[in-house]
Amino acid sequence: MDFPIRIFRVADRSMEPGLRPGDYIFVNGLSKRVRMNDIVVMRHPSRKIYIVKRVGRIDGRRIYLLGDNARESEDSRKFGALKAGDLIGKLIFKL
């Protein structure tokens, strides 16, 4: 069962300056429709972790993610597009 609101802790610098390591983010797990520039949490394509990134492009059922801090980000520039089904949810707010 998916929870409607989930809390994640930002672990890296890939989304600086908006999100910094240690920030807590609240994510709407029921919101599966995303738009360009939304900040989302998704499952990493090859590791058992969650990633926080910005939606850079949507191509049908594929989502391309980009980190705001390109020098520190492992994102779609490295691993390609992700399946829309790997979406955990959209950012609501941060602490």
- pLDDT for the residue numbered 81: 96
Domains in the chain: boundaries: 5-94
* Per-residue confidence (pLDDT) for residue 30, from 0 to 100: 86
- Give the whole-angstrom CA distance, residue 77 versus residue 95: 28
Place 2 in a pLDDT band, splitting at 50, 70 and 90. low
Antiparallel, parallel or unpaired: β 39-43 and 82-83: unpaired
Residue from 49, 60, 72, 57 nearest 41 by CA: 49
The CATH code that applies to domain 5-94 is 2.10.109.10
Q: What is the pLDDT of residues 7-60, one digit of tens each?
A: 999 999 999 999 999 999 999 988 778 999 999 999 999 999 999 999 999 998
Q: Is the pLDDT of residue 1 over 60?
A: no
